[in-house]
Amino acid sequence: MLELNNIIKKYGNVKAVDGISFKADSKNIFGLLGPNGAGKTTTIRMIMGIIEPDEGNITINKKEIDEKLKLKLGYLPEDRGLYQKQECEQIIRYFASLRGMDQHTTDNQLKYWLDRFELWKSKNRKVEELSKGNQQKIQFILSIIHNPSLLILDEPFTGLDPVNQILLKEIINEKSNEGKTIIFSTHQMEQVEKLCDNICLINNGKIILNGNLEEIRSNQHNDQLMVKYGGHLEESEIIKFFQNFENNGSTFKGNLKISTKEFLPILNDLVDIRSYSLETDSLEKIFIKAVKEKS
């Protein structure tokens, strides 16, 4: 389990990270989200031990992060850090050695991951000869070859086609099911909705949303309900439960202020409900609204 407790990082008079606290459990894919300049990269660098917080502490399984523990971390940066003139196999072996892996383990893991990503035949090619998508696969292999207990993925789907995005999602879910803690940072909200259990949304160095993704969505109360009905509807009896209410005499829609479970019995006493559908706000809409409200 990764835990951040009241982390603060200053650059001059600017607080890049201002009192951030959250927990990311094992078997949990945790979304670290925010607009550009929100403080995500600074937070990730502190987790990795690249920079130190000015205040607060970061622990993994209740232990402070030291040099030994750093070897158990995996990091896929948003910006690729591959040696373009080197062969793929050479780079993977070099990074495996930095993680303290022996040759036998490296041989097995290198073969497994290159096969998994259909790159075995490209192992002797220079990085610069690969497509952007295949370079991203190599970068991912470097982050995972040592079987880290904490895996941080910053925009992992960059450059990948839909087929390889599916493959990467499968691997991320596998690692989560194995008990790894995974931090997932991206601007692709649809990927967050598909993968993440919990999220932390930060802006200007502060947390503005934090918790279980489904609970956050349900607590927004911006569900748009559409109802087809029979009979005469007195709008005055229900309009107080809505924002943006529209009614054409047989169908109405609007954003509920209360839960659907609370509203439908009220409506059922007034008209004949023929059908209804509920459209919940996407995470992208919640993201944009929360950022605007806190800006």
Give the whole-angstrom CA distance, residue 54 versus residue 192. Answer: 30
Q: What confidence tens digit (pLDDT) does each residue in 211-250 have?
A: 998 888 777 656 789 999 999 999 999 999 998 899 999 9
Q: How many CB atoms lie within 10 A of CB 176?
A: 20
Whether 13 and 144 map to the same domain: the answer is: yes
> For residue 289, with 0-12 CB atoms within 10 Å meaning exposed, 13-18 middle and 19 or more buried, which class applies?
middle
Residues 81 and 187 grouped into a single domain: yes
pLDDT in tens, 90-140: 999 999 999 999 999 999 999 999 999 999 999 999 999 999 999 999 999
Q: Do residues 126 and 249 both lie within one domain?
A: no
pLDDT digits (tens, 9 = 90+) for 248-272: 999 999 988 888 889 999 999 999 9
Residue 82's pLDDT is what? 85
164 SS3 class: helix
Does residue 115 share a domain with residue 24? yes
Residues 37 and 115 in one domain: yes
Tell me, yes or no, whether 46 and 186 share the same domain: yes
Domain that holds residue 268: 223-279
**Running DSSP on this structure, what letter comes out for residue 282?**
P
Query: 34: buried, middle or exposed (CB in 10 Å: 19+, 13-18, 0-12)?
Result: buried
Give the tens place of pLDDT for each residue, 69-104. 888 899 999 887 788 999 999 999 999 999 999 999
Q: Is the pLDDT of residue 1 over 70?
A: yes
Q: Which pLDDT score, from 0 to 100, does residue 157 have?
A: 94
Claim to verify: residue 16 and residue 125 sit in the same structural domain: yes
Is 284 part of any domain?
A: no
Domain identity same for 206 and 91: yes
Give percent above pLDDT 70 in the chain: 98
Instruction: State the pTM of this model.
Output: 0.81
User: Residue 145 to residues 37, 125, 129: CA-CA distances in angstroms?
Assistant: 30, 19, 22
CATH assignment of the domain containing 202: 3.40.50.300
